[in-house]
Amino acid sequence: MRKTLPLSALLLICLWSCRNPGPVTTDDSNTLPDMHTSRIALDYYGSYEGLLPCASCSGIYTVIVLLEDDTYKICRRYEVEGDERVYTSGGRFHWDDSGGKIILENEDPPNVYLVGENRLFQMDIEGRRIEGGLEKHFILEKKR
């Protein structure tokens, strides 16, 4: 009986301390990263199309295909009367540190796209979001 009393008391103390954890402190160094990034949360593979602005023509019809092996294919047709040429290139893409933007390797800037729900938003030459009245002209819509 003498041995069970201290063991019972120890068990009771453990159970009580588990129920009463004391004050909660927050330590920012142990904060888990937000796992709701485009890379993780969206079904981004597929084909995106749209007419992007062009300084010397009426637009650049652009198709970007993102494949599951992290490669891409991009086709561009400059909207110039009488010119039906299509410029095609491709390579690998990788994600920025935030998991929200892709960078098309082997492409001259602007080669960064913010990945949204069924959309790619072309970033400016420095990789920033285009804002103001022109932003709606820099969107490629997912087709399949």
**Chain segment 32-64, per-residue pLDDT in tens:** 455 568 877 688 999 999 999 998 999 999 999
> What is the spatial distance between Cα 110 and Cα 123, in angstroms, rounded to a whole number?
6
Q: Which domains can be identified in the chain, with CATH numbers? A: 38-142 (2.40.128.640)
> What is the spatial distance between Cα 97 and Cα 117, in angstroms, rounded to a whole number?
19
Is residue 9's pLDDT more than 80?
A: no
Q: Which is more confidently placed, 120 or 3?
A: 120
What digits encode the pLDDT tens for the residues 72-117? 999 999 999 889 999 999 999 999 999 999 999 999 999 999 999 9
